[in-house]
Amino acid sequence: MPVNEPIAFFNGQLLPETNVGISIRDRGFLYGDAVFDATRTFHGKTFKLEEHVDRLFNSLHYLRIDPRITKEEIIRWSLKVVEHNYPLLPNGQDLWVMQRISRGLESSTNTTNQDPTILIESHAIPFASRAKLYRDGIRLITPSTPRIPPRFISPRAKTHNYLNLIMGELEAQATDPESWAVLLDENGNFTEGKGSNVFLVKNGIVSTPGGQFVLEGITRETVLNLASGLGFPISEGDLDLYDGYTADEAFLTSTSLCICPITSINGSSIGNGIVPGPITKQLMAAFSDLAGTDYVTQYLNHLE
């Protein structure tokens, strides 16, 4: 095993990243017929890895993919990848850790009893490009592209098919290249972004869209628990643009962002302009305590 080169787990073995090759016949590449999940490290320690792997297996079950590997094996190999790759990072960096499983190679005769393709890889979280979000806040845009309704395909499975979210993001960034997108549903209610959940705070209540209509983020669940533990009422349900424009505070959650304040929605400033707002600030501090890392300072240390 190379000492100074990142490694990945691929179909049963640890390999240098440069030796991993996905077949052009792989259904994940051909059709997006694959699932994935991603955790992150804090100072080299994975955060809620078991919860992420549980969600990975729920996604597999939804897509009827037999991974032919156990949760315990996925966790063990993920930790092996981190153990090797984290020391290769520059000081102050941390890792995204991705588990990806496709249905396997395309077959003209059999799509139900195939050997899956299994990949576990890691790469550095882009702290430098996101650092100013923690100083200035996120400018959120809701594009005209609607979120695919759950009656067509459930957003609760984390699949390789992100085109709906990507199209919304492209539309938003055509207006503001540095914006982040959150798609609305057909009724005009907030859903989610590409890898992020949205929260609004009004009159001390911490609210987020209902779980049936979004990927129920591990960080989303963590924040709901933290808010409840801090004594803030929580709510899951429909939230529309009126709720967004009149919110006292707003923020996004994701595995890599953790909690990041929103400063505007479609150009409309949130609250009194203080970033982060007081409740968001408390939640960010509580999350840092839980993770054992002041993640906000970790980001801000990468300001150019």
C-alpha–C-alpha distance, residues 301 and 134, integer Å = 11
Please give the C-alpha separations between residue 240 and each of 184, 229, 285, in angstroms, as whole numbers.
8, 26, 28
* pLDDT (0 to 100) of residue 111: 58
pLDDT given for residue 23 in this prediction: 96
Q: What is the pLDDT of residue 304?
A: 76
Structural domain 7-125, CATH architecture: 2-Layer Sandwich (3.30)
pLDDT recorded at residue 170? 98
Q: How far apart are the first and last CA of the chain?
A: 35
Question: In the numeric block, which tokens belong to residue 175?
Answer: 């207006």
Residues of the chain with CATH 3.30.470.10: 7-125
The pTM of this model reads 0.95
pLDDT of residue 1: 66
Each residue's pLDDT expressed in tens, for the chain with a length of 304 residues: 677 899 999 999 999 999 999 999 999 999 999 999 999 999 999 999 999 999 999 999 999 999 999 999 999 999 999 999 999 999 999 999 999 999 999 986 665 668 999 999 999 999 999 999 999 999 999 999 999 999 999 999 999 999 999 999 999 999 999 999 999 999 999 999 999 999 999 999 999 999 999 999 999 999 999 999 999 999 999 999 999 999 999 999 999 999 999 999 999 999 988 889 999 999 999 999 999 999 999 999 999 7
For residue range 241-283, what is the model confidence (pLDDT) as tens digits?
Answer: 999 999 999 999 999 999 999 999 999 999 988 889 999 999 9
- Range list for CATH 3.20.10.10 in the chain: 130-300
Task: Please spell the DSSP secondary structure of 20-70, one letter per residue.
Answer: ----TTBHHHHH--EEEEEEEEETTEESSHHHHHHHHHHHHHHHT---SS-
Element (H, E) at 283: helix 278-291
d(C-alpha 58, C-alpha 296), whole Å:
31
Give CA–CA dist 55/51, Å, rounded: 6
CATH of span 130-300? 3.20.10.10
CA dihedral for 290, 292, 193, 20, sign (positive or negative): negative
